[in-house]
Amino acid sequence: MKKLVVLVAATFGVAHLVRRKQQERPAAEVWREATRAS
């Protein structure tokens, strides 16, 4: 159960970072990094 909470929190954190970084970099690059990390 705790793992699920952490996963949801991480997902929201990543989504927030992606939204912020999209102004600096293309979304494809951010996606590549996110998929590599997971």
Q: What is the pLDDT of residue 36?
A: 83
pLDDT tens-digit profile of 20-37?
876 666 777 878 888 887
Dihedral of CA atoms 5, 38, 32, 27 in degrees, nearest 10, equals 0
Residue pLDDT, tens place only, 3-14: 999 988 899 888
| pTM of full prediction above 0.75 | no
Spans of all domains in the chain: 2-37
